[in-house]
Amino acid sequence: MSHIIHRNLRQVPPVAVGADGITIRASDGKTYIDASGGAAVSSLGHGHPDVIAAMHRQIERCAYAHTGFFTTEAAEELADRLAAGAPEDLSGVYLVSGGSEAMETALKLARQYWVELNEPKRRLFLARRQSYHGNTLGALAVGGNEWRRKAFAPLLMDTVRVSPCYEYRDRPERQSVDDYTACLLDELETTILKTGPENIIAFCAEPVVGATGGAIPPTPGYFKGVREICDRYRILFIADEVMCGMGRTGTMYAIEQDGVAPDIVAVAKGLAAGYQPIGAVLAHKAIVDCIRNGSGAFQHGHTYIGHPVAAAAALAVQQVIERDDLLARVRSRGATLRRMLGDVFGVHEHVGDIRGRGLLLALEFVQDRSTKEPFAPERRLHAVLKQKAMERGLMVYPMGGTIDGQRGDHVLLAPPFIATAADLSEIVSRLEDAVDAALKQ
Ligand code: PLP
């Protein structure tokens, strides 16, 4: 019996004892291909010598220095690098320990900005259904993942919701993509007017929806419209790039591909690619200047913010991505993986949609392709698929409740950027096998 409160209290997962490249080895000698980078984390794969060496150097130099007393070269250099590569004027960087902390920080920073501007009435966040922004109470409140929220709903602050941009399910066949996008933007604007823009702090969204919806990219022009509406009504726009950022979709920030700049961006996961727990918030210069010229301090902080070893790991990961031109590789391998998935699942009777960007791709499963009818939730197809994949030495990231928190199943793929075409082919072949076995059960 384990003393760990595991994710499933009726099941102890295999013990990972080694990891190298795109694989993780368990104590029973079995090796798993990490086709999901855990949860879209391990973008450089495992055991990368440059990252490990950078961590060693930092540990020997200074393993920890509290940010109430010191800053470190590792943290400063990481912040410089992130700011230099960020969308326009996102030059303030706050380093935390993960994605939920990054989102909490983003929410509080946005709120304090308005307080500094003497607009304390603003207390509401606007966010989309079928989204995920983290598991801490603030981030969970803003997120629209129904099953994750359910037990805690009475504890969560009010959040105003709009529809996700989910073309596969929500665009009627007769409607053009542009009209669908216009309807979503119309809904956003109407909701803002109904709520009163003077009460709203920010609109939060994942540029490419991650685990909740399964790699759902926006329609063309959606985020341009969001930006315009936020500007028109003086509402901040927070992009949650915890999963889709840091190169996962083929550009350092996913939203770059939509041609707009948010006011605040949250990143984590791929930032240090799993070598250390770290997340970051990038804030527009105007927000940081406002606080600097106002109260002078952001009312926030945790013991481990700006952790030097985490910062050194993240810096090394980002340097490797640039040195080895891995963003170009994400784009080309992403196209390869998509083609391979199309070859195998493109006409599969139970795969309704293949979607995503770069190396963040997903399949959505359906009972019936023509009606898009999902499988019955009681069947727990996603859970069965995970088990069948693990039996075949394959880590993928399946999830249920794709449509509304209850119905729908998808599987997310987020392989390391270093995966070769042969690796991707092996991943697709094992996945095909696992899907067949899951559907037979
Ligand atoms: N935001 C998004 C979009 C995520 O995908 C996640 C995690 O999956 C989070 C926030 C929370 O990050 P963490 O699990 O590191 O707290």
Ligand 1 probe mutation, 241, 243, 244, 267, most atoms within 8 A of CB: 243
Atom of ligand 1 nearest to the CA of 39: 8
Q: Is the CB of 337 under 6 A from ligand 1?
A: no
Q: Is the dihedral of CA 51, 278, 237, 76 positive or negative?
A: negative
The protein residue whose alpha carbon is closest to atom 14 in ligand 1 is 99
Atom of ligand 1 nearest to the CA of 279: 15
Q: Is the CB of 138 under 6 A from ligand 1?
A: no
Q: Is the CB of 134 under 6 A from ligand 1?
A: yes
Residues of the chain with CATH 3.40.640.10: 52-323
pTM: predicted TM-score of the whole model, two decimal places:
0.98
Report the distance separating Cα 306 and Cα 296, nearest Å.
Answer: 19
Ligand 1 probe mutation, 132, 238, 265, 360, most atoms within 8 A of CB: 132
State the distance from the centre of ligand 1 to the C-alpha of 223, rounded, in angstroms: 20
Query: 174 φ, ψ to 5°?
Result: -80, -10
Q: Residue 1: what pLDDT?
A: 84
The protein residue whose alpha carbon is closest to atom 1 in ligand 1 is 133
Q: Residue 151: what pLDDT?
A: 96
State the distance from the centre of ligand 1 to the C-alpha of 288, rounded, in angstroms: 24
The protein residue whose alpha carbon is closest to atom 5 in ligand 1 is 243
pLDDT along the chain (441 residues), means of 10: 94 96 97 98 98 98 98 98 94 98 98 98 98 98 93 97 98 98 98 98 98 97 98 98 98 97 98 98 98 98 98 98 98 98 97 98 97 98 98 98 97 98 98 98 91
As a residue count, the chain comes to 441
State the distance from the centre of ligand 1 to the C-alpha of 39, rounded, in angstroms: 9
Which residues on neighbouring strands pair with residue 18, listed in sequence order? 25
At the fourth CATH level, the homologous superfamily of domain 16-48+325-440 is: Aspartate Aminotransferase, domain 1 (3.90.1150.10)
Q: Which CATH architecture does the domain made up of 52-323 adopt?
A: 3-Layer(aba) Sandwich (3.40)
Residues of the chain with CATH 3.90.1150.10: 16-48+325-440
